Amino acid sequence: PRILVIEDEAPIRDEVLDWLTFEGYDVIFAVNGKLGLKAIQEQMPHLVLCDIAMPEMDGLQVLTAVRSDSAMSAIPFIFLTASADRVSIHKGLDMGADDYITKPFTHAAVLNAVTAHLK
């Protein structure tokens, strides 16, 4: 399966890319929401892992665009974010995120969520 990681912080992005590549996934990435949305439209990944606070277009805007387009709306979408308060978590899930993982996160938390949502 192809997974798109949308994350503007290179150390975090690289770590997640390494984990997923090691597990055998076909991994692509984008450094901001605008490029991430373009990658979703062009690559049609099987799952998206996305930060919320990013330049150009934030993760909530990406999720809104994905959920409003019938060609992309069924793609599992997981937030990986530092926005860990209850209001942010509920907002992300209410907007249609399939899962919400807060930073700092573990290798196991990311892989468990990816595995569960690819089934």
pLDDT in tens, 74-105: 999 999 999 999 999 999 999 999 999 999 99
Cβ–Cβ under 8 Å, residues 21 and 28: no
What's the pTM? 0.96
Q: Residue 70: what pLDDT?
A: 96
CA distance 56 to 8: 10
Which amino acid is it at 69? D
Q: What are the angstrom distances between the C-alpha of 22 and each of 15, 16, 32, 91?
A: 11, 10, 23, 32
